[in-house]
Structure 1
Amino acid sequence: MEYYAHTREDGERQTVKAHLISVSKLAEDFSVDLLKPLAKKASLYHDIGKYAINFQKRLDDDKVKFSHAACGAIEYKTLADKNDCFAPLMEYCIAGHHTGLMDGGTDADNSDSPTLNGILKRADEYTGDSDYSAYATEIEFATLTQEEITPPLNELLSTKDPTERIERYAFFTKYVFSCLTDADFLDTERFCNKNVERGMSGDFEKALDKLNRELSDMPSDNPLRQARSRIQQQAFDNSVNKSHISILDMPTGSGKTLCSLKLALESGKKRIIYVIPYTSIIEQTANKFEKMFGDVLPVLQHHSNYSYDGNTEEEKKTADKLKRTCENWDAPLIITTSVQFFQSMYHYKGSALRKLHNLRDSVIVFDEIHLIPTELLRPCLKAVGYITKYLNSEALFLSATMPDYSK
């Protein structure tokens, strides 16, 4: 028989096999090389539970209940080699691809517990119409090989600090989860709604030309303005020695934002993300960028004050596209809040973590960095460290009153 994953409004159906293969390819493309095998295989098996007769019945009758997400995690735990240290990572990502990353739980959890341990105890319940073993007729289930495990394992073992190992493992888990959940959502959306529009594009080269003209047109007809020009030139000259995380410590009114934007546009990265603590500053910065760049480089604003409403049909269509683009930050220039940014790393829900993989190959500019709350400073800086270390990204800290973060 044919096994289906989704039914479109016009009655057309997508097979489970086609969905799994498409999602695994997307997730693999999203991922950095270090974690590609994990993203690919977690995605290839995330929906094998849809091979159960009960799920097939559910496509026609939503009263039939069946939790398909647990099946791939159960199968992975059953088949994984005892030396596969990434088996828990795979189980977390597969089991949580709809509900979000769950608590691990304890051995005392029963099969009704909303924990990973509880879900994995449901294996004995999948018999009869809930048996999903038919996946083996279409998908060859293969756990991670030692060759695929070794590179990320070596990265974990490159530190002797046990807490650091745990935190790296947690980051890898959330990153693979991000690749899987976004790929799953996008493939489902493309099948169910062929005409949907999402994503934005822009031309960094043309935007840089406009910015350079803006900087060159700045007057330098008095000592204060001449001093500003010298400070800006120092920032540009020193950028040749920049590291993954750079500091732009410039006084108020000296043009930090425009300097950081020039450095970001010249970086060769594919995305620029401005992280700003206050919505008032966000709106001011966005208006400035929109006025300067026009259609050459559109600005995606993602914060609570931004309205996606529209009056005409065309405005409503544009608003819907912007909303969808905010879901995974598929845009070249994004302005957002500190809360939105750090939730992309530390939330447990897929709706927040979907954005994480799109922080790859980015320049992330943190304006007013000194306003990060002291009690949250360590996890925030750790997040920036992992994103720049593993995702080929750069961070730029901006402040007129820069704290000493060296320790």
Structure 2
Amino acid sequence: MNVLYSHPDYPLQHHIEGVRSLSTLFLNETKLEFSQQKWYQHLCESIALFHDIGKSSRYFQDYIRQRNVPQQLKSHALLSAFVFMSYIEQVDGVEDIWKWLAFLIVKRHHGDLDDWLEEFKQFDSDMKQQLSQQIESIDFALLNHTYEALFPIVTEQPFTKSQFEAAVEAMFTKSRKIRRGIMRWNEENESLVPYVQFLFLFSLLLDADKSEAGIMQKESWEFSERFTLPAHLVQVYKQKQQWERNAMNELREKAFQEIVDYKIDLNNHFYSLQLPTGMGKTLASLQFALRLREEMQTKKGVIPRVIYSLPFLSIIDQTGDVLKSIFQANGMDIDHRLFLSHHHLSEINYSVVKEEEKYDVNYDAAKLLIEGWNSEMILTTFVQLFHTIFTNKNRAIRKFHRLANAIIVIDEIQAIPHRYWLAVREMFQVLAKELNCYFLFSTATTPAIFDKRETIQLVEPSVYFQSLSRVQLVPHVQENMTVESFVEQLQLHEDKSYLFIVNTIDCAKKLYEQLAEVADQTVMTFLSTHIPPKERLRRIAAIKDGAYRIVVSTQLVEAGVDIDFDVVYRDLAPLDSIHQAAGRCNRHGLRAGEVHVVALTDGKRRYASYIYDLVRIDLTQSMLKTYEIVEEKGFFYLIEEYFQQLSSKMNNRESLQILKGIKTLYFDGEATTERVPVSQFRLIESGEERFDVFMELDEEASQIFQRFEEIVRIKNPFERQREFAAIKASFYQYVISIPRKVDHKPPILYNMGYVNLYSLADFYDQTMGYKTKSEGIIW
């Protein structure tokens, strides 16, 4: 053995040099104030140099040459951390707290973060024996030869066995002192800054390490190459559209021109674009983001990424289509270095256009490029964004440094749960200051997360609300109604279209059945998550084409789904949800629209209480009881009052607990009354336990599932993952999620429910989707 390897047939020396170069590049391109400090830069470089030094053990070298080695002995991160600590302890100008955190970065660079206090309680005799065996197996002559070119000091002071053994002894001796220091720090620290700077430093190593191994070793890739996105892209796109001239389009154009003419001050980091639904917020948001990007590039010398985040997958694809149309209108190829979509169902495909030729990056590199947000513009979900900021997960932290200088557009910000408003507000303020992030909140209903004095309004929203008279909101919430009594008093007119939005699938099914008795079923359709996505999308497209006059749906159509009705009935919900529902009514102002709010009950309790917390429901009901009719021009003031009252009634307990977890670097562990670990941050509450079911709706679904079964039988886990990625998006077009408690469960195959084409009628209603209740089927 005359060469140390980091990966099969790839020298350790080359890998470490590559990781050092990439982490330094990623650090320096940000030009952040804290990242320019010499001690921080030295820490970043030292972490890169030492992160894989444990791979010098004979056990790891045998493992990389495909020989059988005990699991614990082939590990390398722990030994690397001990050796790193012995070096960094001698470095002046680095505070003890950062030496301890850097130790954890090296130790955890292949795992998730834990409670950092617990990390220094785990030193036992088994650990010492493992480290001793690994040190005993190292060929130090070969190790020094490997490091001489990387770390010149090694020439004068070579690594030795006694030095490594002393490093282990020193850490075991100092661990109690370190724990006392951490406990003292946890009690004193009241800032989120260490958390942000720590995750930033950790992400530099994670991204450099994975990118060097998975991209640089396989592709001819230049990470320093960045691309210009002209600020006029959206304007060019708009000029090429054949939109008719009418009052609504003129109002949209007025708002857009305000964005074009707005004088940007880079001292302001928080912006709000509050416009009524259907007023072109997507194009306006993109226009402002591109202008801000150009301004930052000119005046700050940095190239910010634009991170456009949305709460729901249903509107990700819709927004993605808009972005593609903008690029195409400007004669630009869809190169993923310019724009990519990233969510849990994203296709693993990364295409690059060079010299007018398009080629696809290999699967492993493409996966890393997408998950690392290697693009100028990233379209992603709230879950991806917020679980990158509030996380202990290695995979999510990797892209944390991409937030530096980013322009973060948060579309439909009202979807952030109010239990996290305080935590989000405090974190965003630190991200703005430390990482130079800029935020644009785009919505029709801006919640009171930030004080109005902290955000810059790009347009005056009241002007646009007052200019509209598309819709009247009519509350009927004085008394609760059953679905039956509601339908009895309904009057449906054949010359109008109707959308009914209710809170639960059970309520939706019951309402549809009742309506089917008094209306023509050929003009009716039904939408809920118990209908597979492929069929849902088909129905939504048919609704847009005018195929259905009466639609019963759950809340899935509320935000961003571009459908339009004369009359909307909304079961009682928080006022911001009602406002979103109103956006599905008379969107283009061509007629008089009506939105009716009713309070439906199952005879025991309001359906709203199964979905929403009582604070928001009771506040909405009490506010609406005081009105007979609300004109659209009054929506702005109504929603403002709602959020002001909600803020005064809101309990900040969960935000305070997660903030305490962040301030004490409590990444994982048990929740207490005082603090909650960062790992327990949940943007979406899990609610009742559910499981996935694959529904073979058609022959295409049968073929997809047949391919899935072939993939499951592939023995190599990496090949299996790669093959499934190729069908993942299509596969999940046929998957629904149902509660585990349903009394009519499908057969379980490969740890998920499976309904084949031949038993479809037993489990699936062609109108209302999955049958959660048994109909006397004999098994």
TM-score (norm 2): 0.43
Structure 1 residue corresponding to 2:236, chosen from 194, 200, 213: 213
Q: 1:201–1:297: 8 Å Cα contact kept in structure 2?
A: no
CA distance in 1, matches of 2:313, 2:66: 45
CA distance in 1, matches of 2:129, 2:205: 23
Query: Structure with the greater relative contact order (CA < 8 A, sep ≥ 6): 1 or 2?
Result: 1
Asked if residue 406 in structure 1 is aligned to residue 414 in structure 2, the reply is no
The structure in which a higher percent of residues are helix is 1
Asked if residue 265 in structure 1 is aligned to residue 277 in structure 2, the reply is no
Q: 1:42–1:90: 8 Å Cα contact kept in structure 2?
A: yes
Asked if residue 76 in structure 1 is aligned to residue 91 in structure 2, the reply is no
| SS of equivalent to 1:188 | helix
Asked if residue 351 in structure 1 is aligned to residue 395 in structure 2, the reply is yes
User: C-alpha deviations, 1:15-38, integer Å up to 9, x for none?
Assistant: x23322221121011014334332
Gap change, CA 1:83 and 1:338, over 3 Å in 2: closer
Asked if residue 227 in structure 1 is aligned to residue 251 in structure 2, the reply is yes
Q: 1:48–1:132: 8 Å Cα contact kept in structure 2?
A: no
Q: 2:387–2:396: 8 Å Cα contact kept in structure 1?
A: yes
Structure 1 position 122, deviation (Å): 6.2
Indicate the residue corresponding to 1:87 in structure 2: 99
Moved more, 49-58 or 271-280: 49-58
Indicate the residue corresponding to 2:196 in structure 1: 171
Q: 2:210–2:368: 8 Å Cα contact kept in structure 1?
A: no
CA distance in 1, matches of 2:286, 2:48: 36
Structure 1 position 195, deviation (Å): 6.5
Asked if residue 103 in structure 1 is aligned to residue 115 in structure 2, the reply is yes
Moved more, 318-327 or 366-375: 318-327
Structure 1 position 397, deviation (Å): 1.0
Gap change, CA 1:270 and 1:297, over 3 Å in 2: farther
- List runs of 5+ in structure 2 lacking aligned partners: 158-186, 295-302, 351-356, 452-779
CA-based RMSD of the aligned residues comes to 3.5
Give the total of aligned pairs. Answer: 374
Asked if residue 17 in structure 1 is aligned to residue 40 in structure 2, the reply is no
- List runs of 5+ in structure 1 lacking aligned partners: 114-118, 143-160
Indicate the residue corresponding to 1:128 in structure 2: 136
Gap change, CA 1:112 and 1:395, over 3 Å in 2: farther
CA distance in 2, matches of 1:17, 1:371: 48
| SS of equivalent to 1:331 | coil
Q: 1:19–1:187: 8 Å Cα contact kept in structure 2?
A: yes
Structure 1 residue corresponding to 2:319, chosen from 262, 285, 301: 285
Indicate the residue corresponding to 1:303 in structure 2: 343
Q: 1:111–1:122: 8 Å Cα contact kept in structure 2?
A: no
CA distance in 1, matches of 2:225, 2:378: 10
Indicate the residue corresponding to 1:153 in structure 2: none
CA distance in 2, matches of 1:322, 1:21: 23
User: C-alpha deviations, 1:364-389, integer Å up to 9, x for none?
Assistant: 11100111111223333344334332
Structure 1 position 353, deviation (Å): 1.5
Give the letter for the 2:437 counterpart.
S
Gap change, CA 1:198 and 1:52, over 3 Å in 2: same
Structure 1 position 68, deviation (Å): 1.0
Indicate the residue corresponding to 1:275 in structure 2: 309
| SS of equivalent to 2:137 | helix
Q: 1:27–1:183: 8 Å Cα contact kept in structure 2?
A: yes
CA distance in 1, matches of 2:206, 2:433: 23
Structure 1 position 212, deviation (Å): 0.8
CA distance in 2, matches of 1:325, 1:108: 36
Give the letter for the 2:98 counterpart.
F
The structure in which a higher percent of residues are strand is 2
Indicate the residue corresponding to 1:255 in structure 2: 280
CA distance in 2, matches of 1:273, 1:385: 17
Bigger Rg, structure 1 or 2 = 2
Give the letter for the 2:424 counterpart.
C
Structure 1 position 350, deviation (Å): 2.4
Indicate the residue corresponding to 1:389 in structure 2: 433
Q: 2:349–2:366: 8 Å Cα contact kept in structure 1?
A: no
Gap change, CA 1:62 and 1:264, over 3 Å in 2: farther
% identity of equivalent residues:
25
Gap change, CA 1:201 and 1:323, over 3 Å in 2: farther
| SS of equivalent to 2:445 | coil
Structure 1 position 245, deviation (Å): 1.9
| SS of equivalent to 2:271 | strand
